[in-house]
Structure 1
Amino acid sequence: MFKFIKSILQPNKPILEESDNMKKFLIVGLGNIGEKYSETRHNIGFKILDALAEKESFTFETQKLGDVATFKYKGKSALCLKPSTYMNLSGKALKYWMDKENIPLENILVVTDDINLTFGTIRLKTKGSAGGHNGLKDIQNVLQNTNYNRFRFGVGADFGKGRQVEYVLGEWSEEERKILSERLEKSGELIKSFIFAGVKNTMNTFNGT
């Protein structure tokens, strides 16, 4: 009798429950594999995920098309991916793990460098152009969609004409290194907020900080 009354009082409860795939997230840090790229500005996506892994005590393992790791946060499950396809083919790895884990597009977050933002600026967006970034270009081509979440980390544009590639593939300056640790921690907090609080709340909290 109690179960019957409960079902009447809460007839819509099963509908309100969050589906399993909506609890799963894919966080993709963009970068290039290899030791020579590890401390370059273009690899900030990898660096942010490595800092998050240290903070949350999870470990990456080499699997198909990248290094992957899973961690739980407040009832949600996040798969972190560092593609091994090199920057220009980032979309291939993203699409493979998106399909394999049945993760909806709105639960994907791409972490990338951005020369159009001053160093250390963090900005979350739900859509937009590739802005000349080859990794984002490939993701856009593979997904045939520009409406995916991207977390842009500003690396600045302190380079002369024609030296953009040299700059983004260059290593951090001493001044940048002094600030980087705090910025990495803040970036990890943004990612966890995206997973738990959602993209709009996270944008309101972190954009411009």
Structure 2
Amino acid sequence: MKKYLIVGLGNIGPEYEETRHNVGFKILDFLAQQEDLKFESAKLGSVGTFKHKGRSILCLKPSTYMNLSGKAVKHWMEKEKIPLENVLIVTDDINLDFGTLRLKTKGSDGGHNGLKNIQDLLQTTQYNRFRFGIGSEFSKGRQVDYVLGKWNEQETSALPERLKKSADLIQSFVFSGVKNTMNQFNGT
């Protein structure tokens, strides 16, 4: 059975729950609801697994806080013997307009501390990342406030459809492969 690791990046704690920076957690929560998956506390995060069509999909929400996400990713990859090409990191991106989806197989951390830590610990930039656009509607020097801020009314009303599209992208990654998924979803 092929194994996949889907990692949603975010910060633990109720104060972060509805923030833009936690969209990785939010996407995994949506997927879990769709798949009737329950997350349980485990080493370095909350995990849940579902099986479908000969695939085993392990979903991980690291409890290490965003900036140390690589520790959880590396642990679960090694523990479950999941190859790098079957790992997908789900994260926010201020360089994309709100709700824009982008899947890449490699690249820089783009100034994202969670991705930077993953790259440092995996010692590669060659891993799959799914970036969910959160926009950049902030003034100079206010990036942290914006990223850690709550969704506005317009974003909140658009989120359900965007979360569904995100869950579809993850399913496609697992069942149709990264290239087909990039062709189908990038920029949507």
1:30 touches 1:110 (CA, 8 Å); kept in 2? yes
Who wins on radius of gyration, i.e. which is larger? Answer: 1
Equivalence map 1:8-23=2 (5 Å) = 20=1, 23=2
Distance 1:74 1:44 in 2: 27
Question: Which of 37, 47, 52 does residue 26 from structure 2 map onto?
Answer: 47
Which of 71, 85, 88 is residue 67 of structure 2 equivalent to? Answer: 88
Partners of 1:148 and 1:28 in 2: CA distance:
12
CA-to-aligned-CA distance 1:138-183 (integer Å, 9 cap, x gap): 0000001000000000000000001101100000000000100000
The correspondence for 1:169, drawn from 128, 148, 171, is 148
CA distance in 2: counterparts of 1:70 and 1:122, whole angstroms: 24
Q: Whole-Å Cα distance in 2 between the matches of residues 66 and 93 of structure 1?
A: 7
Distance across 1 between alignment mates of 2:121 and 2:52: 29
Q: In the alignment, what sits opposite 1:69?
A: 48
Q: What is residue 193 of structure 1 aligned with on the other side?
A: 172
**Where in structure 2 are the equivalents of 1:108-127 lying within 5 Å?**
108-127=87-106
1:59 aligns with 2:38: yes
The unaligned stretches of length 5 or more in structure 2 are: none
Identity over aligned pairs, percent: 72
Structure 1 vs Structure 2 CA RMSD: 0.5
Q: 1:153 aligns with which of 118, 128, 132?
A: 132
Does structure 2 conserve the Cα–Cα contact (< 8 Å) formed by 1:73 and 1:192? no
Task: Please state how far the C-alpha of 1:95 moved relative to its aligned partner.
Answer: 0.2
- Contact map agreement 1:88 1:135 (CA 8 A) in 2: yes
Give the drift of 1:75.
Answer: 1.6
TM-score of the aligned structures, taking structure 1 as reference length: 0.89
Paired AA for residue 153 in structure 1: F
Shift of 1:73: 2.3
Aligned pair partner of 2:78 in 99, 107, 114: 99
Aligned pair count? 188
Amino acid at match of 2:184: T
Match of 2:51, as an amino acid?
K
User: SS in structure 2 opposite 1:179?
Assistant: helix
Q: CA-to-partner distance for each residue in 1:19-58, whole Å, 9 max, x for gaps?
A: x4xx100000000000000000000000000000001111
Given candidates 151, 156, 159, the residue that maps to 1:180 is 159
Q: Flag structure 1 segments of 5+ consecutive residues without an equivalent.
A: 1-19
* TM-score normalised by structure 2 residue count: 0.99
* Native 8 Å contact 1:73 1:196 kept in 2: no
Secondary structure, counterpart of 2:111 in structure 1:
coil
Q: Deviations over 1:66-115 (max 9, x none)?
A: 00000112221100000000000000000000000000000000000000
Structure 1 residue runs of 4 or more that deviate by more than 6 Å after TM superposition: none
